[in-house]
A and B are shown apart, each in its own frame.
Chain A
Amino acid sequence: MSVLKASGICKAYGKKQVLTDLELELHEGHIYGLVGRNGAGKTTLLGVLTAQVPWQAGTVTLDGEPVWENRAALDKLCLSRELSATLLGTGANTLRVTDYLRAASIYYPGWDAAYAERLLREFGMEGQRKTRIHGLSKGMMSMVTIVIALASRAPFTFLDEPVAGLDVVAREQFYRLLLEDHMESGRTFVVSTHILEEAGSVFERVIVLDEGRILEDAVTEELVEQFRLVTGHEEDVTAVCAGLTVLGTERLGRRLACTVRGTPDALAALDGAPVDASPLSLQKVFVALCGHGEGGIR
């Protein structure tokens, strides 16, 4: 099984430090979710992992071989970036959908043209082949990046915000296509997203990036299971939360609500206590981890 490994990665844009001493291992055969707030460094990290963006310190290796300027390694990686209606320096993005697909067919050795065609049809975009990128809706631009990512057939495929601009039906369609392909091929996918409600059940593992560091890298369910929202009389809640890590509190008169984290043994103390303890969704876990005390906690 292949392993893509980032070690000691430091990356700055001018004086702005984006990634700091970052360590990450991606193993073949899993779907990873990459989550983090705006500016956390997600896009930069994806660029570094696929050797599309230079970095200042550290190494990225695929099965021990550095990926930078290494054609054999790069052939196994695909980063499908978000498309933009404008191109730097030239104004409107007047390239057509077919131009992007042709470029991808040249760049990715495993390119599956028949699959790309099937995906275009699935997304109802078969009539858009000749459309220029600036003439597409945001959702259709996302669909193009998804088609390229999936049809690349790259063993490690990275999608940066693939569901941005997609409506809920298209998002579900995307996740179904992703799972279908993952089950057939066993490819590794890394998907960055801000929309967590429906994504938690698709990601086997979730990587939480915060201020340029990996805050969490865990099996999604095992991470979520560590959290509870504890509500009740402030005295009871304070007493029962003593052995737990409290990540956020909200007060309403004598009613206190605490978002807590603990080991299964520590959480067992909540059973039978005169408080309500309810599980958190992945989205609420994310807010608790990355909200840095800013609201969002019920």
Chain B
Amino acid sequence: MNGALNDQSSIYLQIARMIEDDILRGIYREEEQVPSTNELARVLCINPATAGKGVNLLVDEGILYKRRGIGMFVAPGAEQQVKQKRRDAFYAAYVRPMVREAAGLGLSERDLLEMVEQATREEENA
């Protein structure tokens, strides 16, 4: 397995995430072509069927689209869509568990908000 991948989640999900990251970083801009399934498979040393599954996930979500006979392209509005998807995921993966953990520790909503404000200031000064 390529060093860019780990075994903490399914490889096709990692492929999809990798392409999303590259869209957010401006490596692939809207209406630009992304690597083919075979190119991904070759570079990452993974099965092309798995790479294809990751790409198709993004096609199903409308982040990529297919131009017949040419390849896969970044859809218009894809960057905004990926950002929104990441925000939703952030809420589910971090904010909700944080609130749950805070309740378990006996912190009030106010305590939690104060901690978030404090952390924000610390990050700003770091």
Contact = CB atoms under 8 A, between A and B. Distances in A.
Interface string B87-124: 00000000000001000000000000000000000000
B7 A279 contact: yes
A204 interface: yes
Interface in A171-219: 172, 175-176, 179-180, 182-183, 197-198, 200-204
A282 B1 CA distance: 12
A27 to B, nearest CB: 12
B59 interface: no
Given A201-B5, A220-B47, 9 more contacts: A180-B42, A198-B1, A201-B44, A221-B53, A272-B100, A278-B8, A279-B7, A279-B9, A282-B7
Contact of A179 (B5, B8, B10, B48): B48
Contacts of A31: 47
A224 interface: yes
B41 A179 contact: yes
A201 B49 contact: no
A1 B10 CA distance: 28
Interface of B: 1-2, 5, 7-12, 38, 41-42, 44-50, 53, 100
6 contacts: A30-B49, A179-B41, A180-B42, A201-B50, A272-B100, A278-B8
Q: Which 10 A-B pairs have the closest CB atoms?
A: A201-B46, A281-B7, A204-B47, A204-B49, A201-B1, A198-B1, A221-B10, A183-B38, A201-B11, A175-B45
A288 B47 CA distance: 24
Interface of A: 30-31, 172, 175-176, 179-180, 182-183, 197-198, 200-204, 220-221, 224-225, 272, 278-279, 281-282
Contacts of B41: 179, 183
A281 B1 CA distance: 12
Contacts of B1: 197-198, 200-201
B7 to A, nearest CB: 4
Given A201-B45, A201-B46, A204-B50, A221 B8 contact: no
Nearest to B92: A271
A282 B47 CA distance: 15
Contacts of B38: 183
Given A197-B1, A221-B10, A221-B12, A203 B42 contact: no
